[in-house]
Amino acid sequence: MSSINNSYEYYQCNQGLLSMLNKSKSGNPLINQLISNNEIKYQQKMESLGIGTTKNNTKYKNVDNATNNLLDALEKLDDKDLYTAESGKEYDKSKLIKGVTNFVAAYNSTISNLDSCGGALNKSFKTEFTDTFKENAASFEKIGITINADKKLSVDQEKLNAANPEDIKALLGNGSSYRRELISSANSMDSIINKALAMRSGTYNANGFMMY
C-alpha cells in the first residue's frame, strides 16, 4: 500500500475513534483539540507529499473528474445485458465494445492527469494501476488490450471485436479481481484528493478548528 494510502487510513482511523468517544453535544474540549490537531497534521503530511500545496488546485480537480469518469465507465461494464443477447434476438456486441473503449479512454485520461500532477500522487497511484493491470496482462492481451511504456492502455480493435464476451466479463464485469482492485485504488485516490482539496479550501480559527 502506498504512503499516501497509509497516511489517509491512519487519519481516518484516528478521527473515527475520537469521534466515537466525543458523544456529548458540545464535545469534550480535549477530544475536540485532538481532532483538530489530527486535521492539521494530516494536512501537513499531504503538503509534504505535494498535494494541496498550491493556490490553484485545478490539476487535482482534473484527476478527481477523470477518476470519477473511470469509475462510471467500470460501473457501466457491470451491466449483465452487455454480455448476453436479448430474448429472441441475435447478440449485438457493439455496446460492449463501446463500453470497453470508453473504459480505456477514461483509464488513459486518469493516467494523463496523474502525470500532470506529478509527485507522490502520480507515483503511488500510477504504480497501483500499473501493477494491477500487469497481474492480468495475459488475459487483457487476449481481448486486445495492452499497456504501453507511458503506462497508458492501447486497444487492438480487431482483436477486441473478435473477443469472447465472457473473457471481457471475466476482466471488467462484476466479480473480477482486477475490477475490484482498480475500483479500490480509484476510490482511495478520489477520497484523498477530495480531503486534500477540502483542507486547502478550509481555514482554521484561533483555536485550531477547521472552518468552511
Q: Would residue 43 count as lying in a domain?
A: yes
pLDDT digits (tens, 9 = 90+) for 103-154: 999 999 999 999 988 777 788 889 999 999 999 999 999 999 999 999 999 9
Q: What is the pLDDT of residue 189?
A: 86
CA distance 159 to 173: 19
Containing structural domain, residue 112: 3-207
Q: Would residue 38 count as lying in a domain?
A: yes
Q: What is the pLDDT of residue 206?
A: 33
Q: Would residue 60 count as lying in a domain?
A: yes
Q: Would residue 212 count as lying in a domain?
A: no
Q: What is the pLDDT of residue 104?
A: 97
All residues at 6 or more sequence positions from 1 whose CB lies less than 8 Å from its CB, including other chains = 9
Q: Would residue 108 count as lying in a domain?
A: yes
Is the overall model pTM greater than 0.95, yes or no?
no
Q: Would residue 32 count as lying in a domain?
A: yes
All residues at 6 or more sequence positions from 16 whose CB lies less than 8 Å from its CB, including other chains = none
Provide the domain count of the chain.
1
CA distance 127 to 54: 24
Q: Would residue 189 count as lying in a domain?
A: yes
Q: Would residue 117 count as lying in a domain?
A: yes
Chunked into runs of 10 residues, the chain (212 residues) has average pLDDT values of 48 52 58 58 60 64 92 94 86 94 96 86 88 96 97 97 95 94 92 71 40 35
